[in-house]
Amino acid sequence: MSTHPFDKALALEHSDIRAGHFTGVTSPDYWNMVGPFGGATAAIALQSVLRHPDLLGTPLALTVNFAAALEAGPFDVQATPVRTNRSTQHWTVQITQPGAGGTPNMTTTATVVTAARRETWGESDMPMPEVPPPESVKRFSIGPAGVAWLDRYEMRPISGGIPAKWDGGLQHSESRLWLRDAEQRPLDFCSLAAMSDMFYPRVWLRRAKHVPAGTVSITTYFHAGPAQLAEVGTGYLLGRAVGQQFFNGFFDQAAHLWSEKGVLLATSNQIVYYKE
């Protein structure tokens, strides 16, 4: 059986240089114009924690700060558990590439919180919207040149697709779509982290204007455990994304991901740079 493209992108080699140090290589399958798809980079940061021998529990929160775009080629990842409590564990992650004169170039910083969850009462106050089933929604099939990562996913927009006309018309910023890996792969925490960053900049939809934009920082909260992810398997997720405030070159957008059965699996918030 061939290795899934996402697993190739996540492949990390453990280094003996110091504890929690890994090396990897960027994947052309998840390229996004000037660097890797941000969701793939977030998944790599999370993967370094999940591969660490001192890991406690499962992911609870992941914050990734994109200081600079990764260049094509090798990179280093350092995952460090900075504090371990009875139920939670706190991590810092740094991704670097060789810079001028051999000085490491910092591209990405991240923090991760993992937790040993215990069964308690639970309920959701964010029900899944009523939408048509995925099989009845047309698949998005045409992506811009140089954005290879779009081919790695099957996306079926229900509403709020990329504007057909960039005419500057003001409108809402909400999108809803069904999504999953184009080449079937069971859902796990890393792929869930990547899918949390799949939504294009809300300013494009809000203004119908294709302005330069890029994520500065994204935080994803995980609301499910391994059993809930295993239940999803290779099925679809319903994604919803909406902008919240646009002000002086930056805006934030929120996203929600539900299983087909209506289980809220993850939520995310990100701050995005945009230019007039």
Please report which helix (H) or strand (E) contains residue 5, including its range.
helix 5-10
What are the domain boundaries of the chain? Answer: 5-115, 134-274
pLDDT in tens, 145-181: 678 999 999 999 999 999 988 998 888 999 999 999 9
10-residue mean pLDDT series, the chain (276 residues): 94 85 96 93 98 96 96 96 97 93 90 96 95 96 80 96 88 96 97 97 95 96 97 98 97 98 98 94
Domain 134-274 has CATH 2.40.160.210: yes
What's the rounded Cα separation, in Å, for the pair 34 and 260? 34
Q: Which residue(s) pair with 106 in the sheet?
A: 96
Global model pTM greater than 0.75: yes
Q: Which CATH superfamily groups domain 5-115?
A: Acyl-CoA thioesterase, double hotdog domain (2.40.160.210)
5-115 and 134-274: identical CATH topology: yes
Tokens coding 252:
């934030």
Do residues 252 and 245 make contact, with C-beta atoms less than 8 angstroms apart? Answer: yes
pLDDT in tens, 235-275: 999 999 999 999 999 999 999 999 999 999 999 999 999 99
Q: What is the DSSP letter of 33?
A: T
Please report which helix (H) or strand (E) contains residue 1, including its range.
none
